[in-house]
Amino acid sequence: MDATDQKRLLREMLFARRFEERCAEAYHERQIGGFLHLYPGEEACAIGVLEKAQTGSDYVVTGYRDHIHALKSGMDPKALMAELFGKEAGCSKGRGGSMHLFDPDVHFMGGYALVGGPFPLAAGFAKAIQLRGGQEISICFLGDGANNQGTFHETMNMASLWNLPVLFICENNLYGIGTAIERSTVEINQYKRVAPYGIEAAQCDGQDIDIVMTHAEKAVNYVREQRKPYFLELMTYRLRGHSMSDSGAYRSKEEVEEWAQRDPIGIYKRRLVEAGVVTEDEFHAMDKAVQDEIENEVVRYASECPEPRVEDVARYVYTEGGNNHG
């Protein structure tokens, strides 16, 4: 990877971080409502994996912590922020919200609130690809907690049985809200849980984007070439609360501090500085530029664009012409 791409990746992670932090502010200012699940600490996962996918063509689906997956899939940050602000110009026309971002134009097939719900959807995209004889793959990002749902086991079985081209990415951040993984799950190594289904799997560090990309490249190529599922577990950690209301009572300050030392942006920045790809000054300038862009373009756009019309509240329940055919 050349220096331009390395700098771009660093900027993308920084943008993701600042975007989420700005969302938190907007939430406190009550411009964003509902449940808001932020991604700081986990940036290398979505950005690293999707860097190795064919975004725009491969189908991507995830849970409710979906902002960065949407961005890296190619969603316009303005459409994303407008959605969070509940605006008509939002990616889901203000009908979805933070947990339900959609952009079928770039094959970002959504954020979903029900833990484990997207597993079968991802396999379904792969089923459609298979029927069409396409070369795309389907990529499903979910947390460790989702693997205790029936949909995990049912979908692994069918994806393997039917050779569906779907890549399962497990973002193992060690917790499902406030329950530590060893308190909910017998086999805490998630990648081992797909072995009975005959699915190839690996586990790797999710904080170092270079390591993520190495494994992701292998995984993506495997699925694309073998037309079979693959399961990649990324060991990661969220540095903020589960959502905007989180007691934090379930984990120690020391533990959070330890993981903060392994902040994916910090790791990558240090590496690029040491390699002479960026200087500290350039990094600060980049950070400033990112924050300016978010404020002056993204947030301003989201604040200024109009809300949906109340007369349209019942629009989109059915498709137009859903009763006409023949």
Partner 1 sequence: MAELMYWQGILRAHDEEMARDPLVFAMGEDIGVAGGTYKATSGLFAKYGEQRVVDTPISENSYTGIGVGAAMVGARPIVEIMSVNFAWLAMDQLMNNAAKIHYMSGGRIRCPFVMRVPGGTAHQLGAQHSARMEKVFMGISGLRVVTPATPRDAYGLLKSAVRSDDPVVIIEHESMYNLKGEVPDEEFFTPLEGVEIMRPGKDVSIFAYNISVHWALDAAKKLASEYGIDAEVIDLRALKPLDRAGIAASVRKTHHAIIVEEDEAPVGVGSEVMAIINEECFFDLDAAPVRVHALDIPIPYNHRLEKAAIPNAGDVIAAVRKMFGR
Ligand X SMILES: Cc1ncc(C[n+]2csc(CCOP(=O)(O)OP(=O)(O)O)c2C)c(N)n1
Instruction: State the residues that interact with partner 1 by CB under 8 A.
Output: 59, 61, 90-96, 100, 102-104, 109-110, 112-114, 117, 119-132, 150-151, 154-155, 157-158, 161-162, 315-319, 321-323, 325-326
121 in Cβ contact with 71 (< 8 Å): no
Query: Considering CB distances under 5 to 8 angstroms, the limit depending on partner class, which of Mg ion, partner 1, ligand X, none binds residue 95?
Result: partner 1
DSSP state of 156: H
Q: In the complex, what is the shortest distance from the CB of residue 168 to partner 1, in angstroms, rounded to a whole number? A: 13
Cβ nearer to ligand X, comparing 142 with 294? 142
Q: In the complex, what is the shortest distance from the CB of residue 184 to Mg ion, in angstroms, rounded to a whole number? A: 10
145 binds ligand X (CB under 6 A): yes
Cβ nearer to ligand X, comparing 180 with 211? 180
Q: Identify residues 225-284 at the interface with Mg ion (CB under 5 A).
A: none
Look at residue 249 and give its three-state secondary structure: coil
Cβ nearer to partner 1, comparing 113 with 177? 113
Task: Please state the separation of Cα 262 from the chain's center in Å.
Answer: 19
36 in Cβ contact with 24 (< 8 Å): yes
- Count CB atoms within 10 A of the CB of residue 30: 7
Query: Considering CB distances under 5 to 8 angstroms, the limit depending on partner class, which of ligand X, partner 1, Mg ion, none binds residue 33?
Result: none
Tokens of 232: 């990649």
Query: Considering CB distances under 5 to 8 angstroms, the limit depending on partner class, which of Mg ion, partner 1, ligand X, none binds residue 130?
Result: partner 1
Q: Kind and range of the H or E element at 175?
A: strand 175-176
Q: Identify residues 55-114 at the interface with ligand X (CB under 6 A).
A: 65, 113-114
| Beta pairing partners, 233 | 170, 203
86: left (phi over 0), alpha (psi -120 to 50) or beta: left
Q: In the complex, what is the shortest distance from the CB of residue 63 to ligand X, in angstroms, rounded to a whole number? A: 6
Q: In the complex, what is the shortest distance from the CB of residue 176 to partner 1, in angstroms, rounded to a whole number? A: 17
CA separation for the pair 56, 22 (Å, rounded)? 26
Q: In the complex, what is the shortest distance from the CB of residue 200 to partner 1, in angstroms, rounded to a whole number? A: 20
Tokens of 156: 């692994």
Query: Considering CB distances under 5 to 8 angstroms, the limit depending on partner class, which of ligand X, partner 1, Mg ion, none binds residue 40?
Result: none
98 in Cβ contact with 64 (< 8 Å): yes
128 binds ligand X (CB under 6 A): no
Cβ nearer to partner 1, comparing 151 with 173? 151
The binding track of 124-153 with respect to Mg ion, each residue x by CB under 5 A or -, is -------------------xxx--------
188 binds ligand X (CB under 6 A): no
172 in Cβ contact with 234 (< 8 Å): yes
Q: In the complex, what is the shortest distance from the CB of residue 116 to partner 1, in angstroms, rounded to a whole number? A: 9
Look at residue 78 and give its three-state secondary structure: helix
167 binds ligand X (CB under 6 A): no
Cβ nearer to Mg ion, comparing 173 with 207? 173
Tokens of 27: 């939430």
Give CA separation, 74 vs 16, 109, 153, in Å: 13, 12, 30
Residue 210 buriedness (CB in 10 A; 0-12 / 13-18 / 19+): middle
Q: In the complex, what is the shortest distance from the CB of residue 279 to ligand X, in angstroms, rounded to a whole number? A: 34
CA separation for the pair 113, 26 (Å, rounded)? 21
Q: In the complex, what is the shortest distance from the CB of residue 125 to partner 1, in angstroms, rounded to a whole number? A: 5
What DSSP letter does each residue of 14-52 carry, written as one string? HHHHHHHHHHHHHHHTTSS-S-----TT-HHHHHHHHHT
Give me the residues that bind Mg ion (CB under 5 A), please: 143-145, 173
Contacting residues toward ligand X, per CB under 6 A? 65, 113-115, 142-146, 171, 173, 175-177, 242
